[in-house]
Amino acid sequence: MIIFLNGTSSSGKSSIAEQLLRVLDTPYFHLGVDAFGAMRAVERTLELDGPAQAEVLRRTRAGFHRAVAGMAQAGNDVVVDHVLSEPWRLQDCLEVLDGLDVFLVGVHCPPDELERRERARGDRVPGQAAAQLHSVHQHGLYDFEVDTSVSSPRECALAIKEFLGQATGTRAFDELRGRARGHDPSTG
Ligand SMILES: Nc1ncnc2c1ncn2[C@@H]1O[C@H](COP(=O)(O)OP(=O)(O)OP(=O)(O)O)[C@@H](O)[C@H]1O
């Protein structure tokens, strides 16, 4: 099982992932895109010119998607924490995670609260998260959605757990993959 949290920076994905690992009944792993970026050599990356840096970042994300697939294919349950801010990231996940059970969760937070959190964190540029809102949720389809401006991370985690236990039918990932390939998955 892959519980895939998608939301802007500061929307509350990591906080929910942390709570999910506490409330879920089996030992899930939390794999976050930020943690993968943090594994890279910072100084060697900064020495590169713009296009070379962009390529390193793209490869980091592509590698992250394949690491998630590898963990799940080995039988591990995973909570993914990602920012689908470019169309290729979702398309790549749809391909790489084909055959795996993905439960896609939209993590929402309104712009004013995002900006308040960015100011409180101090290491973010205020307004950057809100600027991602459109692109991150552009595909417009989820298995479940939470609003972190009205629910605590624990409440969101408990709601996800409850809905996951009841969810049946076609997953958003299968529907989105079908759309990308130009056919309806419910008709095979
Ligand atoms: N449900 C919530 N209610 C209030 N504050 C929250 C909530 N969830 C997270 N926060 C606060 O918002 C900030 C960002 O949270 P978190 O690191 O979980 O977000 P994120 O989406 O993983 O961010 P990033 O992608 O930038 O790492 C933290 O200061 C956290 O305490």
Domain with residue 44: its CATH number is 3.40.50.300
**In this predicted model, what pLDDT tens digit does every residue of 57-115 receive, in sequence order?**
999 999 999 999 999 999 999 999 999 999 999 999 999 999 999 999 999 999 999 99
Any ligand 1 atom below 6 A from CB of 152: yes
Give pLDDT, residue 167.
Answer: 79
Q: How far is the CA of 183 from the centre of ligand 1 (A)?
A: 37
- Give the burial string for 64-73 (b: 16+ CB within 10 Å, else e): bbeebbebbe
Give pLDDT, residue 169.
Answer: 85
Percent over 70 (pLDDT), the chain: 97
DSSP 54-87: HHHHHHHHHHHHHHHHHHHHTT--EEEEE---SH
DSSP 171: -
Give pLDDT, residue 168.
Answer: 82
Give me the number of domains the chain comprises: 1
Candidate of 9, 11, 15 to mutate for ligand 1, largest count of ligand atoms within 8 Å of Cβ: 15
pLDDT at 154 over 70: yes
pLDDT at 24 over 80: yes
Instruction: Give the structural domain span for 44.
Output: 2-187
Q: Give the Cα-Cα-Cα angle 162, 85, 14 (nearest 5 degrees).
A: 45
pLDDT at 185 over 70: no
- Can you tell me the ipTM of this complex? 0.98
Rounded to an integer, what distance in angstroms lies between the CA atom of residue 128 and that of residue 148? 18
Any ligand 1 atom below 6 A from CB of 134: no
Q: Distances from the Cα of 34 to the Cαs of 19, 40, 79, in angstroms?
A: 18, 10, 13
**At a CB cut-off of 8 Å and minimum separation 6, what does 15 contact?**
148, 153
> In terms of Cα–Cα distance, which of 86, 43, 44 is closest to 65?
86
Any ligand 1 atom below 6 A from CB of 6: no
Any ligand 1 atom below 6 A from CB of 148: yes
Any ligand 1 atom below 6 A from CB of 85: no
pLDDT at 181 over 60: yes
Residue with CA closest to ligand 1 atom 24: 9
Q: Distances from the Cα of 48 to the Cαs of 17, 38, 159, 182, in angstroms?
A: 33, 17, 43, 39
- pTM for the whole structure: 0.95
